[in-house]
A and B are shown apart, each in its own frame.
Chain A
């Protein structure tokens, strides 16, 4: 004796958010039933596990049928098969495109290729995410990447419009796309302490300030001037100009002058003043060298590791606090403006603005 067929179809599609989450998380039907049992949904209902199994199966089937539509969320709004209220549609999309920070941290900056997909079981195991869920998340990254690749215009806005995502999620996807496109190295041991959100913030800074599109915001606001991939690639001209900053470390006078200006400003304001003074030249060299090397794709990839090695680690070993860091970088940036012979103020600001906020984000106490 067995139930051979069991379906329930509502005119308005019934979806339980809890079950949806379990489905997204890659639980099998039986595991999902177990979790729900433990959750105690059945308490008020004189019902057995069969009821829960039947309900879970129904919902899983519904989600599977919906999945096809979720690949291009705009379709969900004008398809006829499922009558889903708009707030539910939003929920479906948002949750479907949500991802585990731990998982995305593992694939961040990796090529979104078949090769990576093959390694998903290892990655999933590391991040404690089921393979099924990994696949969904990975495919989402790929899908967004592919769609955005062919679109003109601002990256975040494109993602938000095309996938009907919330602003926050669209920004995160922009970061993922940006990292995947520029293949930033994030997997090195030294970078392990950084979370996805740290990187996402940095990506946002880079996208907003260092790409072609970033300039567009101020100068090329008419849509005709939109350049392809303007948000995904760094502004080549700007990277070229960064080489000019080298003068700050190659010109001995300039370096000393810069140092004394910073030290004067810092004296008495921090406990680690001595360390700052001692390390000034090293740190400055580090930052300027990073800037100067960014024309090399290889060095772009190592951008974050360089920041950690050349700046964050030395400071951390000297036990700077975040406040010290803020103080130091502010004065370091501002003092450069007072240097008479330093002519690259605009480039300097554009560079240091991003570096400053990235380091603030990346420097964990």
Chain B
């Protein structure tokens, strides 16, 4: 009995009228956990009941604590008939199980009903008392922290990165069970919500167990997905990166001044101050299993104790681009060719590679879901690796042994691994998995970026990494090192144009680089980045079963090829040479396939300037045709010039002869990093045919080329004042102000014309995306200058002839005046500034250690960064977001005015965060913090905490001081009165607003004031207008955090942390 859960129901408000006669409600509450249920008294005739219940105590296993949610049901008491349910609240108590996260959940939760939506609110208090359990064979993994954030969270540093963890659980979907033929849709939807909540809990617990097994204490980049397979069941799966994280004691957080340059200092501490941190990773030595994890790693999970056998029951229903990968791949690129590595840095490279190999090759899957890394972690980047496979779904016979699903993913991961090997890389970073399901066909996709990593974060118990490893980093400066090719120049996995790095001139770089990760903060870029999308539609005959699967898998390689070509062309059109955050989605519908590739284009200073695009006709000599070609060529050239201007791409002129001249020469041929092309015969043929021509000569007699040109030229640049990207970091913008607007936009488009061609369809799809972007720009016009960051498009084909596009992003304002700075200089200047700052810091420390002094020292010591923050803060003072965070004060103020008739204006502009942090200072205990924040909030009884939401891992102008736990919520909403609710748009609009409200309420109840790394994983809408019905499922996740504004005083920096900062600073200079 290792845990006691306590819950108290305080009060309700804004309840709906349940008794028409009296216009009132007799409400009571049922509190359920596991199989135990408690009830409150009935609070008669009130819409704002006060229950003030006793503490309901549940004595439970911690295993249950992790799996089960706390269920709170509000009911209307009825003497004569059955009690009516008003609605429910599910509370995930996981954040309470970790000592570093929240200590109590307390606040107003919206009461949610699947039919009526939010119906009033209920005030609940939840606490957990956990007893230490030393049982080694325990089933629970309490205390393992989960983060959606796909970088090392702000107030932690990574002592060790263990690697890939994955798990999936399977169950029958209640909606497809026999009982649903007799129970109401509402009951079955509630059953679904409950089940998924339970499954997510179970999944997290199991992943946590694996993490403990590996010796870690946290999962970063946790990505959980649902596959609604319909009749064949419900799959919940998750992947993540196991890490050992050490908390940086509050107050130091050296990354504060630079939101764009996260975790610079703390991470480098990790290796350089063994005196202090030395004892932490010992942890790893204690557990014998972690020193040799690979063997256990896979064997442990669920039930498949041996590597799952390839399921023979399903005669190969998939034929994706990369069947039989291992066969075709291994011979191609003489693996482990360390000996024949590049001449220049040969020995070092080899040594490094060997080291990395030992660290990584033991792992079954050297995958990392991280997209942004501590400096020095990422050594080289090879290119994008991806694999897809088409499967036919069949009923999962035994949910406890989801072998088939496991085997499917296993297969794909193996493929990815071998692709990475083909690029001479040992690891895959920025790794993600996804599915698209239509009826019984399912496309499984995985993609990532092949890379070579510095092994020092992965070596168990290795503390002497300091100096020797540093020498390895030396040859590749951080601003360009990752661009240098990891593969062997003489034995390239694919034809590519190599040149010497334009930054360091010492090693070779490719002419283009595609990756799925974020732009490394230290990378040198020229100009600004922008969102680049490739969109494509392909018609497909309706079919059943294997024929259908076959048709789809035949289409896939062509689609990928075209998407890549489009991306490449659009990249050239913008004069850029690298893509980050590349995400390719292929969605399957009954009669079409949709492909959408999104990425952030950027000009990497280290890479050669891209060539232009040349148009050629197939039949030279035809005069009218020639003229046509000339006009198109002119338009393209004009666009390139315009884009260079727009994105401020003016690379420094090279004194020596430029290797990549702006005019496309015949020999300059750029190839895509499409490793899967190597693995499939048909594709390599395709590649060859393409290879005969110049990659950037578009022949306009070709119908495909017409389409290409069309899609090239229809992309309108964003209106002035707007920038966009789909990554965490917007290349070229560094001076964010605090204006912030997260949003979700959904569009469904009906194709009325059944006889569309591929081109027609693609055009419609392109227009749909473009118009959506235009709408977003228009909506957010009041925020300019701003950047839409983390623009995440999700496409689906919910029904025949319907295309659904869902976008979630955040608009962030920035200070226009400072954008002109050259990023390269900026990085250097910044580094210097930081060092200076920290040095001064320590000097000050000797003289006087009072907090106030430190504060001033900091500002004076870092002219560059202080300047920025000062200016930024002066801007955001009057900004919208600032005003947002002062609601509380204003409202309270208002209440004052009304009651006393006197106005106090002195504290008006103080923000919530500000007051929270000032309270913090008086209570240095971490628990005290959240409590003081809460008491502060509840004081202003009538107001609601402002909760910011962002898909990014940071909030500009602020510092995250505490992670409170993961938010992972699943909701279903249904209606039988669609018209009355304003049609599908009205229905979905209110549902999304409700989901936001529930997320905010949960975060506020945890004591937080923001959600970072927020994402909407799933938004499945089903409608039947004829029956006036609709149903929608939404799954959202993120990390609940407490942030304070940068401008606020730091709460009591401890002496130890200052020491840390210093060593971090010196580290930076070496």
Contacts and interface: CB of A to CB of B under 8 A. Distances in A.
Interface in A107-140: none
Given A14-B741, A57-B985, A8 B775 contact: yes
A3 B749 contact: yes
B943 A11 contact: no
B14 A46 contact: no
A216 B764 CA distance: 72
A10 B740 CA distance: 10
B771 A51 contact: yes
Q: Top 3 nearest A-B pairs by Cβ distance? A: A5-B748, A10-B743, A9-B992
A161 interface: yes
A58 B989 contact: yes
Given A14-B779, A46-B716, A3 B748 contact: yes
Interface string A134-171: 00000000000000000000000000110010000000
B774 A65 contact: no
Contacts of A257: none
A80 B741 contact: no
B121 A80 contact: yes
B994 interface: yes
A44 interface: yes
Interface in B739-790: 741-753, 764, 771, 774-781
B417 to A, nearest CB: 39
A55 interface: yes
A317 interface: no
A8 B985 contact: no
Interface stretch (A83-91, A95-103, A269-277, A325-333): A83-91
A275 to B, nearest CB: 48
B814 to A, nearest CB: 18
A44 B785 CA distance: 13
Contacts of A61: 982, 985-986, 989
Nearest to B783: A14
16 contacts: A4-B748, A8-B776, A9-B745, A11-B742, A11-B948, A11-B949, A12-B880, A54-B775, A55-B779, A61-B989, A75-B14, A77-B891, A80-B118, A81-B997, A83-B946, A83-B996
B887 A85 contact: yes
Interface in A32-53: 42, 44-47, 50-52
Nearest to A82: B993
Contacts of B992: 7, 9
A86 B989 contact: no
Contacts of B749: 1-4
Interface of A: 1-14, 42, 44-47, 50-52, 54-55, 57-58, 61-62, 64-65, 74-75, 77-83, 85-87, 160-161, 164
A4 B1023 CA distance: 11
A9 B14 contact: no
B550 interface: no
B1001 interface: yes
B108 interface: yes
Interface string B977-1008: 00000111110111011101100110000000
A3 B775 contact: no
A349 B942 CA distance: 45
A59 to B, nearest CB: 9
B898 interface: yes
A55 to B, nearest CB: 6
A10 B742 contact: yes
Contact of B778 (A1, A7, A10, A55): A55
Contacts, number: 158
B748 A83 contact: no
A11 B774 contact: no
A14 B996 CA distance: 14
Contact of B891 (A54, A57, A86): A86
A5 B752 CA distance: 15
Nearest to B742: A11
Interface in B961-991: 982-986, 988-990
Contacts of A54: 775
Given A47-B774, A51-B771, A81-B994, A5 B746 contact: yes
A343 to B, nearest CB: 39
Nearest to A75: B14
Contacts of B866: none
Interface of B: 13-14, 108, 110, 118, 121, 716, 719-720, 741-753, 764, 771, 774-781, 802, 804, 880, 883-884, 886-887, 890-891, 894, 898, 942-944, 946-949, 982-986, 988-990, 992-994, 996-997, 1000-1001, 1021
Contacts of A161: 898
Nearest to B810: A11
B827 to A, nearest CB: 32
Contacts of B890: 86-87
A51 B14 contact: no
A78 B107 CA distance: 12
Given A5-B747, A10-B741, A46-B716, A64 B982 contact: yes
Contacts of B994: 81
Contacts of B778: 42, 45, 47, 51-52, 55
A332 B774 CA distance: 71
A2 B752 contact: yes
Given A5-B985, A11-B743, 18 more contacts: A1-B752, A2-B749, A3-B748, A4-B750, A6-B985, A9-B989, A10-B742, A11-B742, A11-B948, A11-B996, A11-B1000, A14-B743, A74-B942, A80-B1001, A81-B110, A82-B993, A85-B880, A86-B891
A5 B804 CA distance: 9
B719 A46 contact: yes
A51 B985 contact: no
Contacts of B982: 61, 64
Given A54-B775, A58-B989, A61-B986, A5 B1021 contact: yes
Nearest to A161: B898
Contacts of A4: 748-750, 802, 984
A83 B947 contact: yes
A4 B1001 CA distance: 31
Nearest to A1: B752
B583 to A, nearest CB: 22
A233 to B, nearest CB: 25
Contacts of B880: 12, 85
A54 B771 CA distance: 10
Contacts of B774: 45-47, 51
B715 to A, nearest CB: 11
Nearest to A164: B894
A14 B990 CA distance: 14
A78 B744 contact: no
Nearest to B890: A86
B524 to A, nearest CB: 33
Contact of A80 (B108, B764, B771): B108
A12 B741 contact: yes
A42 B775 CA distance: 11
B750 A1 contact: yes
A61 B991 CA distance: 12
B901 to A, nearest CB: 9
Contacts of A11: 741-743, 947-949, 996, 1000
A249 B764 CA distance: 88
A75 B942 CA distance: 9
Contacts of B777: 45, 47
Contacts of A62: 989
Contacts of A13: 993
A44 B891 contact: no
Given A1-B750, A5-B746, A81-B994, A44 B719 contact: yes
Contacts of B775: 8, 47, 51, 54-55
B752 A9 contact: no
A8 B745 contact: yes
A134 to B, nearest CB: 23
B887 A86 contact: yes
Contact of B118 (A6, A78, A81, A85): A81
Contacts of B943: 77-78
Contacts of B989: 7, 9, 58, 61-62, 65
